[in-house]
């Protein structure tokens, strides 16, 4: 397997890495401890054109492709996972449906400012009793004249406390299961829309996530984000592989951060009169981390290349997300073992890597669900 990046992609990686090294890493722990939305970095990412990397120039993007998007996510997550999640959401789930199905007015008023970093988009999917089971959602929508009316509650909506607009999954008939679900655009300030406070979390504390409620929330008919009703699942599947590979890229970035910090520490920390990196048991840990990172890199970018070619690699994207996010957790765990007591101390970033890695196991499908998808594909009669 040979992965050859273009000169433009390599230069893009270098520029993002320099931004992260210069502006993010020195303040990463401070931002994590604050638990607040990083407005300065968010606007800076808009100025740098990061939010438009997937989108064409006609809406303010750079049309750099999906692989470039994965590079962006990887490098930002290497500096701070919270910022990586925020950027990843803004670049895709928070804006994609508006790009594909929004009216010209929606694109002018919401999408283009979002790409510039002037507005925040959010993706309201998960509910108290429905995550992976999209057919089990309880947020309802019904038509009333020239409007739709939404009722229900969403949880774990990234960026919701600060969002300007939401892509919301709702069902017009729960008896139809996934055939009855669609996505709708709801803007901040719409009567009946209530935003809950930021949920306090174990990790990714700088990525604000909250509850969104709808009570007789009335929106115009043109806010249906789809060609016709009943195509919500199909429209989500259009980007589902991308969501999973992107999450794998975030995991790859975190794994690299944990490995690079550990490698440096094994040269600095001494025990029994020599650097701990000279002990075989420590080298084995570094070897395992290096293998996990290399394998994650191959899986993530092989699948990203496929997506850029126009493929929709369901099995491969599930593999990339599953392996890279589990690998990130293994690398973070090994880093805490290499650092020993210092890995438990808040003054070192190792504990942050360990906490942040857990979130990766949830978005884009749990490891158990992804194994079901892979298993169903490989076991065919």
Angstrom distance (rounded) from CA 161 to CA 121: 11
The CATH code of the domain at 7-115 is 1.10.540.10
Residue ranges of the alpha helices (H) in 20-80? 28-34, 39-47, 66-79
Average pLDDT, the chain: 96
Please report the pLDDT score of residue 1 as a whole number.
58
- Count CB-CB contacts under 10 A for residue 14: 12
**What tens digit of pLDDT does each residue of 255-307 get?**
999 999 999 999 999 999 999 999 999 999 999 999 999 999 999 999 999 99
In this prediction, residue 26 has a pLDDT band, given cuts at 50, 70 and 90, of very high
Please report the pLDDT score of residue 134 as a whole number.
83
Topology (CATH) of 121-230: Butyryl-CoA Dehydrogenase, subunit A; domain 2 (2.40.110)
Angstrom distance (rounded) from CA 359 to CA 201: 9
Please report the pLDDT score of residue 300 as a whole number.
98
- Kindly report the backbone phi and psi dihedral angles of residue 129, in degrees, each rounded to the nearest multiple of 5, phi listed first: -120, 20
**What tens digit of pLDDT does each residue of 118-152 get?**
999 999 999 988 778 888 899 999 999 999 999 99
CB 72 within 8 A of CB 91: yes
> Residue 206 pLDDT more than 90?
yes
The b-or-e profile of 202-230 (16+ CB within 10 A means b, else e) is ebbbbbbbbbbbbeebbbeeebbbbeeeb
Mean pLDDT of 148-172: 97
Angstrom distance (rounded) from CA 152 to CA 171: 10
- 277: which 2 tokens? 């990196």
Each domain of the chain, given as residue ranges in start order, spans 7-115, 121-230, 233-378
- 22: which 2 tokens? 């210069």
Please report the pLDDT score of residue 381 as a whole number.
56
Please report the pLDDT score of residue 76 as a whole number.
98
Angstrom distance (rounded) from CA 25 to CA 15: 15
Please report the pLDDT score of residue 229 as a whole number.
81
**What tens digit of pLDDT does each residue of 65-121 get?**
999 999 999 999 999 999 999 999 999 999 999 999 999 999 999 999 999 999 999
What percentage of the chain exceeds 70 in pLDDT? 99
Angstrom distance (rounded) from CA 326 to CA 151: 36
Please report the pLDDT score of residue 230 as a whole number.
85
Angstrom distance (rounded) from CA 114 to CA 239: 19
Please report the pLDDT score of residue 380 as a whole number.
78
Please report the pLDDT score of residue 131 as a whole number.
76
Mean pLDDT of 311-315: 95
What percentage of the chain exceeds 90 in pLDDT? 93
In this prediction, residue 166 has a pLDDT band, given cuts at 50, 70 and 90, of very high
Radius of gyration for the alpha carbons in the chain, expressed in angstroms and rounded = 21
The CATH code of the domain at 233-378 is 1.20.140.10
């Amino acid at each position: 397997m040979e992965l050859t990046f273009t000169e433009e992609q390599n230069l893009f990686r270098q520029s993002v890495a320099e931004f992260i090294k210069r502006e993010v890493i020195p303040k990463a722990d401070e931002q994590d401890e604050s638990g607040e939305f990083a407005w300065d970095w968010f606007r800076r990412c808009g100025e740098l054109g990061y939010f438009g990397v997937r989108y064409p120039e006609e809406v303010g993007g750079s049309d750099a492709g999906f692989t470039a998007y994965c590079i962006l996510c990887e490098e930002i997550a290497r500096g701070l996972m919270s910022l990586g999640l925020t950027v990843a959401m803004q670049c895709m789930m928070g804006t994609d449906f508006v790009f594909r199905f929004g009216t010209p007015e929606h694109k002018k008023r919401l999408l283009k400012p979002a790409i510039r970093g002037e507005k925040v988009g959010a993706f309201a999917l998960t509910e108290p009793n429905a995550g992976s089971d999209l057919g089990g959602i309880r947020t309802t929508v019904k038509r009333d004249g020239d409007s739709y009316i939404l009722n229900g509650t969403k949880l774990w909506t990234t960026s919701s406390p600060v969002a300007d607009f939401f892509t919301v999954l709702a069902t017009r008939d729960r008896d139809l299961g996934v055939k009855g679900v669609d996505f709708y655009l709801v803007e901040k300030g719409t009567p009946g829309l209530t935003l809950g406070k930021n949920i306090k979390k174990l990790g990714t504390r700088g990525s604000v996530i909250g509850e969104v409620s709808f009570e007789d929330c009335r929106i115009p008919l043109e806010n249906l984000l789809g060609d016709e009703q009943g195509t919500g699942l199909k429209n989500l599947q259009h980007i589902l592989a991308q969501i999973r590979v992107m999450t794998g890229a975030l995991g790859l970035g975190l794994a690299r951060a944990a490995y690079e910090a550990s490698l440096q520490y094994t040269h600095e920390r001494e025990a029994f009169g020599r650097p701990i990196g000279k002990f075989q048991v420590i080298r084995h840990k570094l070897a395992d981390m290096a293998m996990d990172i290399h394998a994650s890199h191959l899986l993530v970018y092989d699948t990203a290349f496929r997506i850029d070619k126009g493929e929709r690699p369901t099995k491969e994207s599930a593999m990339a997300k599953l392996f890279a996010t589990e690998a990130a957790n293994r690398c973070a765990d090994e880093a805490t073992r290499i650092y020993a007591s210092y890995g438990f101390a808040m003054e070192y970033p190792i504990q942050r890597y360990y906490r942040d890695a857990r979130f990766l196991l949830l978005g884009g499908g749990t490891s158990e669900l992804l194994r079901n998808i892979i298993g169903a594909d490989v076991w065919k009669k």
